[in-house]
Structure 1
Amino acid sequence: RIEAVPEYAYLTAVQRESADDLARRAARLREEVLGHDGLIDRDAVWRLKREALELLHEVPRGPGGQAEYEAYQRREGEWLRRHALWNALAELHGADWHHWPKGLRHPNGSQIEQAAKELAERIEFHRWLAWQVDRQLAHAQRSAREAGMPVGLIHDLAVGAHPDGADAWVLQDVLAGGISVGAPPDAFNAHGQDWGLPPWRPDALAAAGYAPYAELLRATTRHAGALRIDHVMGLFRLWWVPQGHPPTEGAYVRYDAEAMLGVLALEAHRAGTAVIGEDLGTVEPGVREELAERGILGTSVLWFERDWRSGGGILPPDRWRPDCLATLTTHDLPSTAARLSGEHVELRHRLGLLARPLGEEQEEASAELEDWRAELVEQGLLAPGEPLSMPVLYRFLRATPAELVGVWLPDLVGDPRPQNLPGTWDQYPNWRLPVADGA
């Protein structure tokens, strides 16, 4: 947040005039989003913010700020230097490091030292940007705790990083080239999934003493009251998809789960951070039990909690596991408003993501809602004939013994659009949607 950078208060009159102009342009950009197609132009946002941040970077830091900055650089060390170096190189040669000059494609490449000297000013700028992010995260967590929130921020550790980005460039010796992470065909996606993210190499990670993985956890838990681990089953095994092949031709590759969980437990303990695992989808036997033994909460989504061993009936609230985050949906699933209206089936049909005829999918979705209506009536949470609604479903979650209940922000305003639609990249505007009132 530009205005929250301390140096913002010390801009000169000329600099402040430039900053105010950028703020007016940003306001027009927000108006365009609301009045045009409703999508965030993140590239345009970044161009404005970068210009504003470059102004702020010129402001001299006082002795206290400089000492804090130097301490941050010592703490982050080589990882920070390489991150800033990648950003400076990307500005010059493009975002895909695979197409850079050969001597720059590896952090220890033959041309790296010379490039670092030539790009010293830009490297310093990107190092300073990382510091600003760290400061604002620390402030947000501190403010949350002071406001009485026992957990505060819950950070998210994704299952991987973009194959062309800084992480993949820095960590290429411990990531598998020509491979991406995904998921096999399941009830949610009959075609399987390819997420386009390079996985850890189990052998290289072990040879490195799990240091890159530990550093990632250390950085992610630093200002977090809890850490959510995306696709936590990936600590046990991951579905590897060879480049150029469909997800159906992938295979599971195993990891040393004891080591992966041990490093996670150590770093979470050091940071005083709780851990929530997203254990949804294809989960092999024993995984949830092992996670629970180590104090890692699972994720229980209302629509999936059924007694699959005895006919698949809805699991009543008193039979839910207590060691979980209970929620109606996630960023990868349909919004609750869309489930209640059936819009989620129509959207997947328009994008060609259904494995069965539209009518069959709609009948199944309607039957599921009727099952839930009957269950809620039986639980005394819904009167006979009363329409199924979001508040009633959240009351059901509150009746479970779950340690945490998650309320999805778009659900608060009835936004029917999914935030992310797995299996798509350019077919649907994933991550460009602002939260919008669906009423």
Structure 2
Amino acid sequence: MTEPRPDEPPGPHQPSGSPGSLGDELTRLAALHGVAASYSPSPGRTVTASATAVVAALAALDVDVSTPAAARAALTARERERDERLLPPTVVCWLGPTDDPADGPAGGGPAVEAGAGLPPAALAGLPPGTRLDVETERGETRSWVHGVDGTDRVDRLPPGVHRLTATAPDGRTGQAHLIAAPPRLPTPAGRSYGLLVQLYSLLSHRSWGMGDLGDLAELSSWAGRALGAGFVQVNPLHAAVPGPPADPSPYRPSSRRFPDPVHLRVEAVPEFAYAEDRVRLRPLLERAGRLRAAVLDAGALIDRDAVWELKREALELVRRVPLGPGRRAAYADFLAEQGRALEDHATWYALAEVHGSDWSRWPEGLRDPRSAETARARAALADRVDFHSWLAWLTDAQLTDAQRTAREAGMGIGIVHDLAVGVHPGGADAWAQRDHFAAGMSVGAPPDAFNARGQDWGLPPWRPDRLAASGYAPFRRLLRALFRYAGALRIDHVMGLFRLWWIPRGLPPTEGTYVRYDAEAMLAVLVLEASRAGAVVIGEDLGTVEPGVRETLDRRGVLGTSVLWFERDWEGSGRPLPPERWRADCLATATTHDLPSTAARLTGEHVELRHRLGLLTRPLEEERAEAAADVGEWLALLAELGLLRGTDDGASSEEAGIQAVHRFLLRTPARMIGLWLPDTVGDRRPQNLPGTWDQYPNWRLPVADAEGRPVTLEDLAASPRLHALTDVLRTDARAAPGDTG
């Protein structure tokens, strides 16, 4: 995650309070709403949450605690509601022989025909004789009587989100969404390695100043056919908040549900070949060539705004070409399938063209997507709404084509897409789903050993109560949209399925608190949608992780993320963790987009970069010595294992070190091995340097060689250094863990 822009406007001041001032009633009320009154930043240490944050979080959940009397009334009402309801808003049912996820199948698909047991906790408050009826997604009905039939099982309940109704003997009724999901995702077949790349950074001689979906398809086809790769992982391709200047971070999008048309390969749109206004198209193509040359030949940064301006102008001309009958029918099907969500998305972008890209500053009537004013504006802007709907259709089609190309190239997984942890507060999703977001709150991270001030990511959190009441509909729709064209999904900060650090807007991250989500329900939705798509799920579980989270994810078949430099025996010697002690169910890598490249790590360039930018908190020599010691320990282990080989083949010692690092990853039992594409050519520069905004060109650098010269996709395909490294992975990736050498 990246920090928000320093000029982000502060929110309203929150109710006063201070750490340690929480009373018993407020603590109990907070617990009933999933708001933490304390947290443990490290084992054996407990910190009382800020009263300001607790009060603000409760207020964002529509709980009035403005006075002691109001807090007491809210507590009484919440306890009464809990005691009197027959069912919670959402109930989870894991399909399989038992309710215990540990008893689920460890490998292949779940035994969904064996019946489904409803969790005892959900039925604990039901009086004997309560009638339970399940209306499935298919419209079928299953019925039984609680405590009379002798079992609370529903034979042959299909996977899905169903409707559960309870009718007590005294006539009281209750309803709940019933999420019936397989007990776990299947383990990925075999073992594979793949490439990790920020798509915008990978330019070809055909792209318009930044990498596009044509480049992604080309990379996937080449990597699958020529390199034996099983997947390509990319950054989030979510729709961005329009600029200029656009926020270059792919982790703070306007919408996570719909992709960004800036990634389109314009020439690949079928209607492009029939565009008649060549007089206007020709200069756009020439400008695109100059924009590409500026990045590749003149050292310019990737200019997303300039790229989109060119593509928008070209696409406006292409849109004048009438769709053929088949294409028109396909577009109509897409509109019908996406429904109101796409209409809202396109309406926001049409309104943003008129009123700016922060809906909180629009005329008051337009801030509500369901208002009469918005309906009138949508009708008046119908052509622009259709334009943005058409763009979403085109982008969806090219993403689908890229995944199909990857699978046809022999990739077992294909494209691994990335799901950002949240959205921009002024963007399309926050507007269209405003009732599901907590007003006045921002997501971040508490202070820890790595950042004493904590972090504020500037993202509004989902409300757990509204998610539960809707049967997690926004989350279900989001996942279903992404799995349309994903062979796997990486979930950024996967710990957010369990809890998130809420910060009252305008206050520092230290004045936050954790708010808990129903992880059982979130995981059930995730497993349900991924299993329907036949997709793999990878959780980014780096950093501080709450006890039990990794174990729970593992039981559900969600892979973790292991980065070499962080894998040490933290509970023992502190030395690098031997390969046989790594976990198997993970994506193992040498680095990520937020970390130094392997070349920078081995040469110490990452320390020099932070020194040049004035980011070091200790003397330079001390930082150099610590970094060298860290690398030295790893190199010693690599040599001990016989992985650090000589340079008789002409490879530099740095190249030999990078190859050794990846031989080590192959020694681990990890099911997926990720190769950071810039590592194949010795790139020294990180794509993102956390803690910076304008000091460093985050998210705007092309892939480059060791001297900083941009490297195109065509250059990569011909690179001896790349082939030497991928030969290591290609030769050994299919071997059993521990057998490589």
Equivalent pair of 1:181/1:239 in contact (CA under 8 Å): yes
CA distance in 2, matches of 1:177, 1:37: 42
* 1:115 has 2:377 as partner: yes
SS class of match (1:285): coil
Alignment equivalent of 1:398, drawn from 637, 657, 666? 666
**Number of aligned pairs?**
437
* 1:434 has 2:698 as partner: no
Unaligned residue ranges in structure 1 (runs of 5+): none
Q: Which residue of 2 aligns with 1:104?
A: 366
CA distance in 2, matches of 1:351, 1:199: 32
The alignment-based identity, stated in percent, is 67
Equivalent pair of 2:644/2:657 in contact (CA under 8 Å): no
Q: Once the 2 structures are TM-superposed, how far is the Cα of residue 383 of structure 1 from its aligned partner?
A: 5.1
Alignment equivalent of 1:6, drawn from 266, 270, 274? 270
Q: Once the 2 structures are TM-superposed, how far is the Cα of residue 190 of structure 1 from its aligned partner?
A: 4.0
Matches within 5 A, 1:219-230: 219-230=481-492
CA distance in 1, matches of 2:612, 2:502: 29
Q: Which residue of 1 aligns with 2:150?
A: none
Equivalent pair of 1:186/1:281 in contact (CA under 8 Å): no
Q: Which residue of 1 aligns with 2:692?
A: 424
Q: Which residue of 1 aligns with 2:595?
A: 333
Q: Assess, with a 3 A threshold, how the Cα gap between structure 1 residues 354 and 206 changes in structure 2: closer, same or farther.
A: farther
TM-score of the aligned structures, taking structure 2 as reference length: 0.57
Larger mean Cα displacement after TM superposition, 83-92 or 33-42: 33-42
* 1:169 has 2:431 as partner: yes
Q: Assess, with a 3 A threshold, how the Cα gap between structure 1 residues 43 and 92 changes in structure 2: closer, same or farther.
A: same
Q: Which residue of 1 aligns with 2:502?
A: 240
CA distance in 1, matches of 2:319, 2:425: 29
Q: Once the 2 structures are TM-superposed, how far is the Cα of residue 98 of structure 1 from its aligned partner?
A: 1.1
Q: Once the 2 structures are TM-superposed, how far is the Cα of residue 313 of structure 1 from its aligned partner?
A: 1.3
Question: Which structure has the higher relative contact order (CA within 8 Å, separation 6+)?
Answer: 2
Q: Once the 2 structures are TM-superposed, how far is the Cα of residue 109 of structure 1 from its aligned partner?
A: 2.8
Q: Once the 2 structures are TM-superposed, how far is the Cα of residue 246 of structure 1 from its aligned partner?
A: 2.3
Q: Assess, with a 3 A threshold, how the Cα gap between structure 1 residues 257 and 165 changes in structure 2: closer, same or farther.
A: same
Q: Once the 2 structures are TM-superposed, how far is the Cα of residue 201 of structure 1 from its aligned partner?
A: 1.3
CA distance in 1, matches of 2:381, 2:663: 56
Q: Once the 2 structures are TM-superposed, how far is the Cα of residue 35 of structure 1 from its aligned partner?
A: 4.9
CA offset digits 1:314-347 (Å, max 9, x no partner): 1111111110000011111111122112222233
Alignment equivalent of 2:622, drawn from 348, 360, 363? 360
Q: Assess, with a 3 A threshold, how the Cα gap between structure 1 residues 264 and 68 changes in structure 2: closer, same or farther.
A: same
Q: Assess, with a 3 A threshold, how the Cα gap between structure 1 residues 139 and 51 changes in structure 2: closer, same or farther.
A: same
Q: Assess, with a 3 A threshold, how the Cα gap between structure 1 residues 154 and 165 changes in structure 2: closer, same or farther.
A: same
Q: Which residue of 1 aligns with 2:512?
A: 250
One-letter code aligned to 1:175: F
Equivalent pair of 1:40/1:434 in contact (CA under 8 Å): yes
* 1:83 has 2:345 as partner: yes
* 1:127 has 2:374 as partner: no
Equivalent pair of 1:277/1:297 in contact (CA under 8 Å): yes
Q: Which residue of 1 aligns with 2:679?
A: 411
One-letter code aligned to 1:405: I
SS class of match (1:238): strand
Matches within 5 A, 1:115-194: 115-194=377-456
Q: Assess, with a 3 A threshold, how the Cα gap between structure 1 residues 104 and 256 changes in structure 2: closer, same or farther.
A: same
Q: Once the 2 structures are TM-superposed, how far is the Cα of residue 204 of structure 1 from its aligned partner?
A: 1.7
CA distance in 2, matches of 1:357, 1:240: 34
Alignment equivalent of 1:17, drawn from 279, 289, 306? 279
Q: Which residue of 2 aligns with 1:279?
A: 541
TM-score of the aligned structures, taking structure 1 as reference length: 0.96
Q: Once the 2 structures are TM-superposed, how far is the Cα of residue 261 of structure 1 from its aligned partner?
A: 0.5
Equivalent pair of 1:226/1:274 in contact (CA under 8 Å): yes
SS class of match (1:145): helix
Q: Which residue of 2 aligns with 1:214?
A: 476
CA distance in 2, matches of 1:359, 1:81: 57
Q: Once the 2 structures are TM-superposed, how far is the Cα of residue 275 of structure 1 from its aligned partner?
A: 0.2
Q: Once the 2 structures are TM-superposed, how far is the Cα of residue 37 of structure 1 from its aligned partner?
A: 4.8
Q: Which residue of 1 aligns with 2:329?
A: 67
Equivalent pair of 2:539/2:560 in contact (CA under 8 Å): yes
One-letter code aligned to 2:432: V
SS class of match (2:435): coil
Q: Which residue of 2 aligns with 1:204?
A: 466
CA offset digits 1:290-323 (Å, max 9, x no partner): 1000000000000011111112111111111110
Equivalent pair of 1:194/1:423 in contact (CA under 8 Å): no
Matches within 5 A, 1:336-355: 336-355=598-617
CA distance in 1, matches of 2:663, 2:297: 36
CA distance in 2, matches of 1:358, 1:334: 17
CA distance in 1, matches of 2:351, 2:404: 34
CA distance in 2, matches of 1:203, 1:356: 45
Q: Once the 2 structures are TM-superposed, how far is the Cα of residue 384 of structure 1 from its aligned partner?
A: 9.0
Q: Once the 2 structures are TM-superposed, how far is the Cα of residue 33 of structure 1 from its aligned partner?
A: 2.7
Q: Once the 2 structures are TM-superposed, how far is the Cα of residue 187 of structure 1 from its aligned partner?
A: 4.3
Q: Once the 2 structures are TM-superposed, how far is the Cα of residue 428 of structure 1 from its aligned partner?
A: 2.2
CA distance in 1, matches of 2:620, 2:553: 38
Q: Which residue of 2 aligns with 1:293?
A: 555
One-letter code aligned to 1:376: L
* 1:302 has 2:570 as partner: no
Q: Once the 2 structures are TM-superposed, how far is the Cα of residue 352 of structure 1 from its aligned partner?
A: 4.4
Alignment equivalent of 1:195, drawn from 424, 437, 457? 457
SS class of match (2:436): coil
CA distance in 2, matches of 1:330, 1:192: 21
Q: Once the 2 structures are TM-superposed, how far is the Cα of residue 18 of structure 1 from its aligned partner?
A: 2.0
Q: Once the 2 structures are TM-superposed, how far is the Cα of residue 376 of structure 1 from its aligned partner?
A: 0.7
Which of 1 and 2 has greater Rg?
2
Q: Once the 2 structures are TM-superposed, how far is the Cα of residue 186 of structure 1 from its aligned partner?
A: 3.4
SS class of match (2:698): coil
SS class of match (2:392): helix
One-letter code aligned to 2:410: G
One-letter code aligned to 1:304: F
Unaligned residue ranges in structure 2 (runs of 5+): 1-264, 648-652, 708-741
In proportion to residue count, which structure has more strand?
2
Equivalent pair of 2:446/2:510 in contact (CA under 8 Å): yes
CA distance in 1, matches of 2:540, 2:669: 18
Matches within 5 A, 1:375-386: 375-382=637-644
Q: Assess, with a 3 A threshold, how the Cα gap between structure 1 residues 194 and 423 changes in structure 2: closer, same or farther.
A: farther
CA offset digits 1:333-379 (Å, max 9, x no partner): 11112211222223334444444333332221111011011111111
CA distance in 1, matches of 2:458, 2:373: 29
One-letter code aligned to 1:72: F
